[in-house]
Structure 1
Amino acid sequence: MLWILLAAASLLIVGLAVWEPRFRKLAEPVLSVLVAVGLISAFVVWWTDDNAKTREPLSPVTADRPVATIGENQIRLENLQFEKSTPASSYVVTGTVHNDSTAFLDYFTLDVTLDDCPAGTCRTIGRDDALIIARIPPGQSAALRTSLVFPAPRAGPPEAPRWTTAIVKIQSSPAGP
């Protein structure tokens, strides 16, 4: 409400300064003070409003419910297939995710390393990770599809690619009501 009054007063002062030559000398300092008051009041409103908000937790876990954790060994990845995509150094990963825990799987990070292993000697081409939003209930499965991008190897595309996967940063929530 205060800002409406300040805006109306500013318009009145500008109008008087345009029509009344004697008022122009007074209009500039008055407008400067009004703008300063407006900025200060806007800052105070912003500051108090931001601090007045109650922060909601990022996770659905509340204080009265136990935190459910899922171990890396309770998530299984099956039938992972890596297909070349565009550009040449990117791949599409498909497969199945199984949640063998007693908690809801919300999301996890899939960490993948690509090695080129022709004739038994391996050289690492690169590593990438992908955030997988899963939302899988306990004991159930879901399809997995994500994209990974690796650095373009100087020696050309991998002749004998070897994929190493790991599940890290698991987020879960308790099962039940």
Structure 2
Amino acid sequence: MVWAFAVIAVATLYLALRFKRFQSWVEPVLTITVAIGLAAAALIWLTDSRSVVPEPVVPRNMIAPEEIVLSDMQFAVGQPVTSYRVTGTITNNSTATLQSMLLTITLANCPGGACVPVGTDSGLVVVRVLPGQSKPFTTFAVFTGSDLLQITDPEWTWTVSDVRALPRSVPAQ
């Protein structure tokens, strides 16, 4: 916005130098331009310096990871072979509606009981599950480098974290 006042001032000075009749207008035009610029700067400064009262944050309903139960977990090799399609059922045992969660999956190769870790991947699962209900879900896990190993006896472990609930609605005041 400052550049607009600078353009007006430069244009006024140019016109005063170029045309003799305009020289009598130079002082009033520049005075008005500077006055408007100072008023605008003061207005902007006053509006910016006013303390902003943040809107009240509505706390989210809390859901503990222990209140989310995963069952019927299945892992299918995808394309490329380092990718696995993960399906299962989410049961929400909390009193709040589930919005999303972070699912961390670990793959190990356990031939003959001797487990060798292959990798870990985390994925955001976005699914809305009402309290006390279950819903199927699908996500994908990628284990880079797993194509270099012959996985004969896979063992899967998973954890749920960063569980998010839908925010409560705020009653009208």
Q: Same fold (TM over 0.5)?
A: yes
Match among 123, 129, 135 for residue 122 of structure 2: 129
The equivalent of 2:77 in structure 1 is 84
The structure that has the greater radius of gyration is: 2
Name the TM-score, length of structure 1 as normaliser: 0.64
Question: How far apart are 1:156 and its partner, in Å?
Answer: 2.5
Classify 1:56/1:83 alpha carbon distance in 2 versus 1 (closer, same or farther; 3 Å): farther
Contact 1:115-1:163 within 8 A present in 2 as well: yes
1:39-63 Cα shifts (integer Å, max 9, x gaps): xx6xx77x939x7483564xx53xx
Contact 2:82-2:147 within 8 A present in 1 as well: no
Unmatched segments (≥5 aa) in structure 1: 22-36, 62-66
C-alpha distance in 2 between matches for 1:53 and 1:138: 34
Q: Is residue 2:134 matched to residue 1:141?
A: yes
Classify 1:14/1:85 alpha carbon distance in 2 versus 1 (closer, same or farther; 3 Å): farther
Q: Is residue 2:66 matched to residue 1:73?
A: yes
RMSD: 3.7
The equivalent of 1:93 in structure 2 is 86
C-alpha distance in 2 between matches for 1:70 and 1:91: 28
Q: What is the aligned residue count?
A: 149
Q: Is residue 2:104 matched to residue 1:107?
A: no
Unmatched segments (≥5 aa) in structure 2: 19-36
Q: Secondary structure at the match of 1:97?
A: strand
1:124-176 Cα shifts (integer Å, max 9, x gaps): 00011111122211011122111111121374241111100111122225778
Residue identity in the other structure for 1:76: V
The equivalent of 1:54 in structure 2 is 54
The equivalent of 2:110 in structure 1 is 117
Match among 4, 9, 22 for residue 7 of structure 1: 4
Contact 1:128-1:150 within 8 A present in 2 as well: yes
1:3-46 Cα shifts (integer Å, max 9, x gaps): 2x8437527847986xx78xxxxxxxxxxxxxxx9xxx6xx77x
Name the TM-score, length of structure 2 as normaliser: 0.65
Q: Secondary structure at the match of 1:103?
A: coil
The percent identity for this pair of structures is 30
C-alpha distance in 2 between matches for 1:154 and 1:109: 25
